[in-house]
Structure 1
Amino acid sequence: MFMKQQVACELCGRHCLLTFHHLIPKKMHRRSFFRSHYSKAELQNGVMLCVTCHKTIHRFYDEMTLAKRFNTLYALQADEKIQSYLVWVKKQKIQ
């Protein structure tokens, strides 16, 4: 889902077009563990990320890892791989 306006990515802070990232990937929503431990509203929680950040998160981690370990913005921001990536991406030009 793309937003028409350019606002800041919740991960890198750059102003560009954003996509919605489910903090618990939709692929995991049908699994009994997630259905029994999270409400429907919690499963729909997400953050607005630029395309570059969104693709990178999914390149670094599979859906199960994202769902169990990185299901909050804080957890994503605290990860060493993501922190290293953020240092790099903040220096890049927005296309």
Structure 2
Amino acid sequence: MSNPTPKTCALCDRAVPLTFHHLIPRKVHRRNHFAKRYTKEKLAQGINICRRCHNGIHNAHDEMTLAKTLNTLEKLRRDAKVRRHVEWVRTQKK
């Protein structure tokens, strides 16, 4: 039996509709650095987050930064810009 789809955002914990965020953005998948170092399965990994958190991540950092240095949920949670945005998102209405 597979794991059920999460019902809350992996970053802000709000119970709202979720989007899929690739931990290594799709835009860089074909670049040699990533194509040579990661399997297709690793490149496909991601997290379910709300649209506000998703937009905040992409507004705070470019794809290369996300791919090289913020490519796990733990790293995203530790990042000051993302953390500040998530704290704001938690205060918003659904």
- Deviant stretches of 4+, over 2 Å: none
**Residue in 1 aligned with 2:78?**
78
TM-score (norm 1): 0.90
Deviations 1:41-77 (A, max 9, x none): 0000000010000011000111101000110000000
Alignment root-mean-square deviation, CA: 1.3
Stretches of structure 2 that go unaligned for 5 or more consecutive residues are none
Against the structure 1 CA distance between its residues 30 and 78, is the aligned structure 2 distance closer, same or farther, given a 3 Å change threshold?
A: same
The answer to whether the aligner puts 1:22 opposite 2:22 as a matched pair is: yes
Q: Distance in 2 between matches of 1:84 and 1:57?
A: 11
Which secondary structure does the structure 1 equivalent of 2:21 belong to?
A: strand
Query: Number of residues paired by the alignment?
Result: 90
Query: What TM-score comes out, normalization by structure 2 length?
Result: 0.91
Where relative contact order (Cα < 8 A, 6+ residues apart) is larger, the structure is: 2
For residues 6 and 17 of structure 2, the distance between their equivalents in structure 1, rounded to whole angstroms, comes to 5
Asked whether the equivalents of residues 23 and 47 of structure 1 are also in contact (C-alpha less than 8 Å), the reply is yes
Query: Percent identity between the aligned chains?
Result: 48
2:38 equivalent in structure 1: 38
The structure with more strand, counted as a fraction of residues = 1
